[in-house]
Amino acid sequence: MIRTATAVILMSFASPALAEDFLLELPIDCDLESESCFIQQYMDRDPGPSSSDYQCSGLSYDGHRGTDFGLPTKADIARNIPVIASAAGRVVGFRDGMPDTGTAEDVEGRECGNGVVLEHQNGWQTQYCHLKQGSVKVTRGQNVDVGEVLGYVGQSGKAAFPHVHLSVRKDGTPIDPFDPDGTVSCNTPGDSTLWAETPIYQPGGLLDGGFADKIPEYADVKAGTADAVPLDPTSPAIVLYTLSFGTQAGDIIRMRIDGPNGTLVESDQVIERDQAQSFRAVGQRRRGNPWPGGTYNGSLSLIRDGDVISTMTRQITLE
């Protein structure tokens, strides 16, 4: 269930007629309905100091002028997920060579990191940011087809997680591709679109999870390396962890570990405040005897207003 309001937000964007000559495909070659990628943040539609996405929910931040298609962890950069042209156009700008550091240091004026700008017909323009270092495959003046590979998803520039940031502009004005007519109705969101097929809206979810021998550091969870140490019967603990996005105050992260002898531990952890990304963990320490050999299953759920909106399972075998 998505939290809604009754307000209508009016913004000065393109009219519905402008969308008729321009449609977009996804800028990333992955399945948004799987665990391989997700939309972390949408364009901010709140004209004030707060933020709101086109669904009048919280997947945005103040002043955000694009859509962020993310990968679960930094380790996923190595998968070389293609960033592709959302529409046919001409390359009018690009940058490469910036590292995938994910920090704000030394990026002033280059917050986009490695990126590509495409010019389309009738004043439309798209920009693709935070590409992987050394991956940009196009040059200035080159014509590209829709779906053509521009580079790979990275974390260059000012980026807290690996993603491609897609900006859409019409005659220099930022446009929300999920609601380009400029009128957001919280009761009936998304009454216009620039997408050939509008991506599914996921109001939050579980990104990654696994088993570790201790409560991991948050940096290791985001890096995708928290499960780097294999567990065995002598491990000091069995811990199940998960990385989530778009959690809201009052959400519940339900976690359970079932082992060869039954349930090892289970916990409902209540989220205390809205968070773009966060992680939770639950586990049990070993006391004396080795852990029983066999299969251990981890069950993870994100629950909002009584509804399960995301689930994940993980499994290990101790020998």
Strand ranges in the chain using DSSP code E only, listed in sequence order: 8-10, 38-41, 67-70, 82-84, 89-95, 114-119, 124-131, 143-144, 149-152, 163-170, 173-174, 183-185, 205-212, 237-247, 252-259, 262-270, 275-285, 294-304, 307-318
Tokens standing for residue 258: 């079932």
Residues 144 and 247 in one domain: no
Whether residue 190 lies inside any domain: the answer is no
Count how many domains the chain has.
2
Q: Each residue of 186-238: pLDDT tens digit?
A: 766 667 899 999 999 999 999 999 999 999 999 999 999 999 999 999 999 99
Residues 175 and 260 in one domain: no
Whether residue 197 lies inside any domain: the answer is no
Whether residue 194 lies inside any domain: the answer is no
Residues 141 and 221 in one domain: no
Tokens standing for residue 299: 């069950």
What radius of gyration do the chain's Cα atoms show? 21
Residues 98 and 215 in one domain: no
Q: What pLDDT, on the 0 to 100 scale, is given for residue 67?
A: 98
Non-local (6+) Cβ contacts of 203 within 8 A are 2, 55, 57, 59, 246, 304, 309
- Gap between the Cα atoms of 38 and 130, Å rounded: 16
234 phi-psi bin (left φ>0, alpha ψ -120 to 50, beta other): alpha
Whether residue 268 lies inside any domain: the answer is yes
Residues 139 and 255 in one domain: no
Does residue 221 contact residue 280 with C-beta atoms inside 8 Å?
no
Query: What is the CATH classification number for the domain harbouring 296?
Result: 2.60.40.10
CA distances from 133 to 82, 102, 130, 171, 227 (A): 13, 12, 9, 30, 26
Residues 16 and 116 in one domain: yes
Q: What pLDDT, on the 0 to 100 scale, is given for residue 20?
A: 57
Query: What is the CATH classification number for the domain harbouring 37?
Result: 2.70.70.10
Q: Each residue of 276-286: pLDDT tens digit?
A: 999 999 999 99
Kindly give the parts of the chain with pLDDT less than 50: 1-18
Whether residue 117 lies inside any domain: the answer is yes
Whether residue 18 lies inside any domain: the answer is yes
Q: How far is CA 250 from the centre of its chain?
A: 21
Does residue 281 contact residue 227 with C-beta atoms inside 8 Å?
no
Give the single-character DSSP code of 221.
Answer: H
C-alpha count within 13 angstroms, C-beta hemisphere, residue 305: 7
Residues 162 and 31 in one domain: yes
Residues 231 and 290 in one domain: yes
How many residues would you count in the chain?
Answer: 319
- Gap between the Cα atoms of 179 and 64, Å rounded: 15
pTM, full prediction: 0.90
Does residue 264 contact residue 284 with C-beta atoms inside 8 Å?
yes
Does residue 8 contact residue 108 with C-beta atoms inside 8 Å?
no
Q: What pLDDT, on the 0 to 100 scale, is given for residue 217?
A: 97
Residues 133 and 34 in one domain: yes
Whether residue 191 lies inside any domain: the answer is no
Which domain covers residue 73, as residue numbers? 8-185
Q: What pLDDT, on the 0 to 100 scale, is given for residue 7?
A: 33
Residues 27 and 170 in one domain: yes
Give the single-character DSSP code of 200.
Answer: P
Residues 105 and 173 in one domain: yes
